[in-house]
Structure 1
Amino acid sequence: MPELRREPVSGCWIIVATERATRPSDFKTNQQIIKSSFCPFCEGNEDKTPPEILAYRDNGAMPDTGGWRVRVVPNKFPALQIEGEENKCVEGIYDMMSGIGAHEVIIESPRHIQSLTSLENGNVKEVLLCYRDRLVDLKNDKRFVYGLLFKNVGASAGASLEHTHSQLIVTPIVPQLVANEMENARIFYQQRERCLFCDMIDQEIDTDRRIVFLTDNFVAFAPFASRFPFEIWILPKNHKSHFENLQEFELDELANVLKGVLGRLETALDLPPYNYIIHSAPFNVTESEFFHWHIEIIPRLTNIAGFEWGTGFYINPTLPEEAAELLRKQ
């Protein structure tokens, strides 16, 4: 029988329709192969991208040349532009402002590889370090209040190039989804004087039914009310509201966890398209007692259709407990 589950962070209700469930091998992702005779992200093609913002390089290597390990460039077709001011205005009931912000691409390897899992742990750590460095730098710009790091893998997940990369978009306003998460977490904290995410971590570790990966400082699990089949969240065990406040040893461990979880998904689901998103507290919020940064990994195995758009409900044909059990075995 179908089951309704409430996701406490977003407040959304999820329908787990187990009678619609299929085996992992039965999911048809219809992933479109991204083919191109030329890749601007490969080493040697540095002049085909905008000038780099940041790169981790071998000693003596000049900017916008080879010899780099991770490289950050402005998006060639940015959603928001770095120049300008807010220029807020209204037109009747409608609010408007200039489209200022930042839109950057993090090129994760000079080699033409398709997955972060093809990198050594040390290289994955440098990607995460690059995320941290860019957030720290951009939060100094007082026009900006939020930075979203995300990765699209596969054409059906929004990627236009197969070369492994991720993106950072910084906005002058807090996205509504993040604002809703923070408000729900704040209400929980006011009522119980505890962090919602910390309670979630404790309960998941205690029940041990949805855990996928567990280390000294991080936990990865299938959320109780997973919106999508094989959705996985990664959270630090110790309370932290801002991703950019991670310490060096935590980045080492997180690299191992992220690579491990993605590798299990790729093995179990035969290289599925997916997105991951890092939810962190806004720049203009000091260390928060009630918000907890986290990574959401969403394999693109099902489509959102009319019911989902019309109600805000998601229909998940796979029990998160079964998804976690399968991934633990990989």
Structure 2
Amino acid sequence: MSEIRWDPLKGVWVIVDRERGRRLQEFLLEQPAPRVEFCPFCYGNESRTPPEIDAVRPERQPPDTPGWQVRVIPNRHPVLAIEGDLDPRGHGLYDRVNGVGAHEIVIENPDHDRDLADFAPQELVAVLHTWQRRLNDLRRDTRFRAICLFRNQGPLAGADIPHPHSQIIALPLIPPLMAAELHNCRDHFSRKERCLLCDLLRQELHTETGIVHDDGHFVALVPYASGRPFELRLVPRRHEHDFVRVGEDELLALAEVLRNVLARLRQALRTPSYRLYLRTAPPQHTRFGRPNYWTSLAHDYHWYLEIHPCLARGTGIEQATGVPVNLVAPEDAAAFLRGENPAQKR
């Protein structure tokens, strides 16, 4: 029989349908990389992109020239524009504001054909440092209420350019998924005076069935109420609400566990497309009429990374009800990524 599981972090019910689910081997899909005749992110093509905002490069080397390790540029076709005023206004029973925000691309490495799993630890640390700098810089703009960092890898994730890169988008509002998560964390803390994600991590470590990797600093796990096959969370053991505050030693540990987990996915699922999301605290600007809005954020929120392999299409049930259907039990997915045979454990 299937199960319906509650995810207190996301605030959603999830159907885990093991009986109707596919065999794990059926997720081993061949996903050929798209052919790209010209890559604007490669060495020598710096003049073919917008001028760089930030870069990791030798001192005194001119911007927008080869020799960089990480490079940040504005998206040539941004969904939101950095210039302008919000000008909030009503439209009957609707509301609207101008499309003001930021949309940046972090070109993570000069090598066109590498994924994060192929990076040396210090190369990946340079990317993580760049993420921190950009988040910190964008937070200075009081128009922005949320800053989201995501990464599409592979054709099924919508990556048009295979060159390793991530994207950062700053929004003048708190998007619904983030708002729900922030509310759930604050509500849990107001009732129990404990961090919700810390409690969930303790539960996962107690049962151990969802744990994929644990190095003492970060835990990679398949959440008990995963809405997608092989969904992963990388959670720091040390409570911290803000990724920007993570220090050098922890960034190196994060680089190692991220490489480990992505290598496991690649080996177990034959280089799947995936999406990676950074879940971290929003800018803590004072909000008009809400003087106590962020007072407990440092205590009730807990940053983490989320990885969603692109293995299954959404179902009609999910579209009609908002309830995801996961055809791989999370504990089976975790065992498979650990290199075990889930069928032998039933």
> Quick check: 1:256 aligned with 2:256?
yes
TM-fit CA distance, 1:218 = 1.1
Deviation digits for residues 169-218 of structure 1, max 9, x if unmatched? 01111111101111111111122111110001111112211111112221
Alignment of 1:1-330 (within 5 A): 1-27=1-27, 29=29, 31=31, 33-284=33-284, 285=294, 287-329=297-339
Instruction: Quote the Cα distance in structure 2 between the aligned partners of 1:145 and 1:91.
Output: 22
Shift of 1:28: 6.0
Task: Please say if residues 29 and 269 of structure 2, whose CA atoms lie closer than 8 Å, have aligned partners that are also in contact.
Answer: no
> 2:142, 2:204 → 1: CA distance?
38
SS of corresponding position for 1:55: strand
Counterpart of 1:238, as a letter, is R
Is the contact between residue 24 and residue 328 of structure 2 (CA under 8 Å) also seen in structure 1? no
Give the corresponding residue for 2:288: none
TM-score, normalised with respect to structure 1: 0.96
Tell me, in whole angstroms, the C-alpha distance in 1 between the residues paired with 2:258 and 2:28. Answer: 24
Moved more, 38-47 or 212-221: 212-221
Report the residue type matching 1:314 in the other structure. Answer: P
Which 10-residue stretch deviates more, 26-35 or 82-91? 26-35
* Residues in 2 aligned to 1:263 and 1:97: alpha-carbon distance in whole angstroms: 42
Identical amino acids, percent of aligned pairs: 43
Displacement of 1:131 in angstroms is: 0.5
Structure 2 alignment gaps of length 5 or more: 285-293, 341-346
Take 1:65 and 1:25, find their aligned partners in 2: how far apart are those partners? 45
Matching residue's letter, 2:146 = Y
Q: Which consecutive residues of structure 1, in runs of 5 or more, have no partner in the other structure?
A: none
How far the C-alpha of 1:29 sits from its partner, in A, is: 4.7
Matching residue's letter, 1:27: F
Deviation of 1:145 (Å): 1.7
Classify the secondary structure of the residue corresponding to 1:4: strand
